[in-house]
Every structure is written in structure tokens, then in C-alpha cells.
Structure 1
Amino acid sequence: MTYNLNRWQGYGHDRLYVNAGSRKIGWIDLKTGRVKVTSPAGWPSPIEGMVQQWLASNGLGHLRVKLKPRKRGDEITTQEFLDRIDRSRDDDQQPAVALSIKSQRRRSNAGTDLAKNRAGSAAYAAAQERSTWWRSLGRAMGMRTEDQAWRIGAEGEQIVARTLQWARLRGWRVLHAVPVGARGSDIDHVLIGPAGVITINTKHHSGQKVRAKPEVVFVGGAAKRYGQAAQYEANRAAKLLTAAAGRPVTVLSAVVIVGAKSVRGSRSAGVEIMPKSHLLVWLLFRRRTLSRTDVDELYELARRSTTWQPS
């Protein structure tokens, strides 16, 4: 087996990545000495010697490598690391330090894992909170009620999420219903991929004519400030991700219209306004701005609920 050691520096991090061919084994934080294992098979024993040789040749021989704790508070030194590997080799078993991807993610993520959120879940929860017996009666009589509006919004988000599934095939990572702050706000979709970070605001306007103008978006003749709201959302996301990453993170925004009879115009307040049918093409043909490693790093930060809760 051929192992590769690659140093990566970015977003305030300095890491040594270990790969077996194209398969990722894990990485070492060259600032703290912490080790993260991402391979289900664990940390192969031949790696330790290679890592120590690399550290010595790059002026980092003094680094005290620490294993990611198996239990809270448990931390081991490099020598203990070597001893465990030796014992596991003698027993012809996997190293005792091996961790599964699932358990590793559980330890590495702070707060709730937002990757588990379903599209439209926040809007549907808002609909449930607003549902009353008399609003149910109103819906039965054909009236448009407040909780029904939230349900329609949730359906729109689910429709857009199905389109975004195809974007995953081209390297995009997607989060849905991302809660921001303590006042019940959320971002419908956060995308992190080759072309950067994008927040998407979904609007469900079944059968309506939509026209984007420089300052407002007209929906059936009614003026909506969709562009300004989406830009505020993107700016807020950029501020929070920048704080979490330790370096500037640029976030773009877009408003995706679902179910409209027609959508004319493409921008409002500097924000892209588009029908759902244009979304996939718009994503796939954007210029690459992030490496695969950058995408992975930002996604790991974005999926933590604590990233979106300003201190």
C-alpha cells in the first residue's frame, strides 16, 4: 500500500493529510498535534514512522502528537500511540486507536448536526405552531390561512431540495433549514461547493407571474423586497462562517421561484432571481473558486449548529 502525506494550509488551519492512494486515512493538526482518523479501517501502523520522519524533516519534530480521545478527557502521547499500534500488530488485530467515521463525526461536531435537517422542516414547524381549530375550519372553507402559507413554503423548499440532489453529483454539499440566531430565523438552503458558498431563499408562487426589477420583485402585481432579504441573509451567513473559519468567507445568494406561471428578469438588489428550472444549470456552470479540501472544511463548520448562533 502506498501512503501519501500532503500538507494543507487554509482558513487558519495547518494540517498534514494522510491518504492511501485516493482513499483518505485522516489528518494531523500541525498546530496542536491532534489526530483525526476518517478511515473506517483506522490508522495503519506504517503511517506513524512516516509521519514522524516528515515532522522531523520539516522542523516539527518537537510536535507532541495527540490521538483524538476515545473517551472524554482521554489523551495519549506519541509513545503511547506507538505502544498501542505494536500491541495491535502482535494480536493481529486492527489498531486499538481505530475510530469509525460515525463516531468520529459525533465527537468532532459541536452542537446539533444540521446535515440531518430535512428541507422545509422549519417552515413546517412554524405551520404547526400556528395551526388552530378555526384556521383548520377556514382552510376547509377555501380560505388562505397563515399556517397554510407556511405549509406552502415548506412544500416549495422540498421541491427545490429534490433539484439540489442532482447538484451533489457535481461536488456540492447541501444543508436545509439552517437555524440562525435565537429568534427563529432560518436559511432555506445553504450550498457549499466548487463555486463557493451560496444561500438560497425559496419562494412558492403557484400560478403567479413574477417579474424581477432592480429594486423589487413583483408577484402578481404586488411588490416584494426579495433581493434585499436574500442579500441580508447571505451577509449574515458570511459573517458567521468567517468567524468560525478564522478567515474571510464570501457568500452569494439567490432567490428560487417555485410553481410560477412565468418568471421574467434575473436580478433584484444584486441578487439572482430565477425559476427552479434554471437552478441546476446556474450552479453547474459557475466558475470554480474552492478546492475540494476547502469545500470539506467549510461544510464541516457549516453543519454545526453552534456556527450559526452568534456569541
Structure 2
Amino acid sequence: MRGLKVLPSGRPGRGRLYVNGPDGRVVAWYDRQTNRISVLSEDQREPVLALLRPYLSGECTIGPPPVPTPAELRRLHLAPDRDLAPNRPGETLLGELAYGTPGGSRTRHRMRRQLLAFQRVGAELDVLEAEDWRVVHDVPLPGGLGLLDHLLIGPPGVFALRTVPGRRQRAQVGDLLLTVGRAAAGPDPRWIRRAAACASRALESPVTPALTLVDAARLEVAPTLRDVLVLQPPTLTPTLRAIPQTLKPPDVETLFTTARMATTWGRL
């Protein structure tokens, strides 16, 4: 069948690979975890297998898909341009740096530093994805809030993460403000609370606000700050794993399907 193309779900090397037809509809998918190819129509079996062969790992099974869950049905009907799952960490910054953005060299330096922080956190979250966590980067929040850097969904629940470069300086996190070095304090704790509340409404599930400080020389957190999780690589993943579990794998997949749909955030 002509016009077939492969589109990834989630980070490269993880999750599923979807085969879409010329009209953008899914005709098959390859699940890396089960090493199975599900084909919706038997007459597409050979073209799909030929297209996916470079991505296969060892012997795999191929056949009709198992009975889909409601979450899978919604994902199958999700148009590629409305799917947020393939977003890379700092997707918007990558585009702005590649195609030019207003501002001088200082602005571009700040953007590159921010992008490196996003990518550092993204690499940490990739480790969790291998353990059945799910993550969506660059989530567009309504109401002028802008972009949520990372939305993480796993057995302990849902987390809204805002990433802040520590610039190898002392970082101080209070109830309302965050200060890095001698720079002016920013309202990051207040912003991430609002972002988490917005995500909670969209997903109809509790969302924990979290600040992630990257490469801070020293981190000081006010003892009164109890509703915002403060994380730091390389202890980010161990900290998240240690949180008590509240979600089962089907719940994680259902929330991930909802979170990756751009329409979820546009309807608020």
C-alpha cells in the first residue's frame, strides 16, 4: 500500500510505532514492550511488515489487534498533528533556535541554557518511561499560562514539572518566589501551582506541582513549602520512585491518552 509512513509514540526508542495511511489514519502499530505488530486489515499485512522491519527487535508476532480499551480507541483516532506525545523536551525552544527568534546573543544564550536544562530533565524522565511511566513535554496551557515543561504520569500519580536552570549558583525556593544567584526572584512556585491546578481540571485527576532545579550549586528550600515538590537531577528519579503508588497501569495509560491530545488543553 502506497503512502504508508511510520510515526513514533513517546520518546524515540520507546513506546509504540504507528503506521499511518495517506489520510493520516492508523492502519497498524508495533508495540515494543510486547514485540507485537497489530494490523487492522489483513491485506495490509505485508506492506506494514516491510515498512516496520528496520525497527523490529528479534522475532515478533503479527496479527489483528486485541480488543482495544476505550483509551486505545481514542488514541487510534488521534490525528498526528493533534498528538503531543512526540514532543521533545524544549520542543518550542528547538524550533525558535533553529528558525530564528527576536533578540540578541544574550537572549539566544539564555534560550540555549534553558534548552539544555529541559534536555537534562528529559533524559532523567526517559529512564522512568522504561518503567511504564509516561511523559508529555511542552504542554500548551490555556489562559495565558504558556507551556508546561513536562507532564509526568506514573504509578505515584501525575506531576506538573517546571524546569529552572541553576547556573551553578545557589538556588533558594520559598513559598512564593524562587531565586537563583543574584538574579531577581521569579514567581515560579506560584506559577507551577496554577499550572498543576489547570492540568488537574483538564485530566480530572490530582496533579502535584514540582520545580526541578538543574545544576544548582546549592539548593535551599523553605521548610514551609510543602505543597510543591522540589527536585534535582540526579536524585530526581529515585525521589519520584519512592513516592507511594496510587495509579494502576491502565489508569496511567488512560491519563496519558488524555494528556497527549491537544484538544484536552484547548477545551478549558
TM over 0.5: yes
Q: CA deviation at 1:122?
A: 1.5
Partner of 1:76: none
Query: Is it true that 1:109 corresponds to 2:65 in the alignment?
Result: no
Query: Structure 1 residues 286, 214: closer, same or farther in 2, change over 3 A?
Result: same
Aligned partner of 2:54 in structure 1 is none
The offset of 1:126, in angstroms, is: 4.2
- The 2-side partners of 1:273 and 1:129 are apart by 33
Aligned counterpart, 1:264: 220
Q: 1:129 to 1:233 in 2, by over 3 A?
A: farther
On the 8 A contact 1:227/1:269 being kept in 2, the answer is no
- Show the counterpart of 1:213: 174
Structure 2 CA distance for aligned equivalents of residues 239 and 106 of structure 1: 20
Please tell me whether residue 121 in structure 1 is matched to residue 121 in structure 2: no
1:241 maps to a residue whose letter is L
Aligned residue pairs total 209
Which is greater in Rg? 1
Q: How does 1:238-277 map to 2 (within 5 A)?
A: 238-242=200-204, 249-265=205-221, 268=225, 270-277=227-234
1:40 aligns with 2:37: yes
Cα displacement string for residues 191-212 of structure 1 (whole angstroms, at most 9, x for unaligned residues): 1110111111101121211022
For residues 83-118 of structure 1, what are the alpha-carbon distances to aligned partners after superposition, in whole Å with 9 as ceiling and x for unaligned? Answer: xxxxxxxxxxx98xx3599x9786322552111111
Match of 2:199 in 1: 237
Cα distance in 2 for partners of 1:224, 1:115 equals 29
SS at match of 1:122: helix
Identity across the alignment (%): 25
Per-residue CA shift, 1:125-145, capped at 9, x if unaligned?
Answer: 34457635x72xxx3xxxxx2
* Partners of 1:130 and 1:147 within 8 A in 2: no
Checking the alignment, whether the CA contact within 8 Å between 2:141 and 2:195 is kept in structure 1 is: no
Does the aligned pair in 2 maintain the 1:263–1:274 contact within 8 Å? no
Gaps of 5+ in 2: 1-28, 42-61
Q: What secondary structure does 2:148 align onto? A: strand
Q: Which sections of structure 1, spanning at least 5 residues, go unmatched? A: 1-36, 44-67, 69-93, 140-144, 243-248
| Displacement after TM superposition at 1:156 (Å) | 0.7
Instruction: Tell me the equivalent position of 2:10.
Output: none
Question: What is the aligned partner in structure 2 of residue 12 from structure 1?
Answer: none
The residue correspondences of 1:124-203 to structure 2 (distance < 5 A) are: 124-127=94-97, 131=101, 135=104, 139=105, 145-181=106-142, 185-203=146-164
Change (3 A) 1:260 1:301: same
Compute the TM-score of the two structures, normalised by the length of structure 1. Answer: 0.59
**What does 1:300-311 correspond to in 2, within 5 Å?**
300-310=257-267
Whether contact under 8 Å (2:172, 2:219) holds in the other structure is yes
C-alpha change, 1:178 and 1:215, in structure 2 (3 Å) is: closer
Separation in structure 2 between the aligned mates of residue 121 and residue 197 of structure 1, nearest angstrom: 21
Matched, 1:295 2:257: no
**3-state SS, counterpart of residue 247 of structure 2:** coil
- Give the superposed CA RMSD: 3.3
Q: Aligned residue for 2:243? A: 286
- 1:226 paired with 2:188, answer yes
Deviation per CA, 1:143-195: give whole Å up to 9, x if none: xx223322221111001011111112332111111222385821111111101
Kept after mapping to 2: 8 A contact 1:266/1:273: no
Query: How far off is 1:226 after superposition?
Result: 1.4
1:303 maps to amino acid: R
211-220 vs 295-304, which deviates more? Answer: 211-220
For the residues of structure 2 that align with 1:203 and 1:179, how far apart are their CA atoms?
18
State the Cα distance separating 1:219 from its structure 2 match: 1.4
Deviation at 1:215, TM superposition (A): 3.0
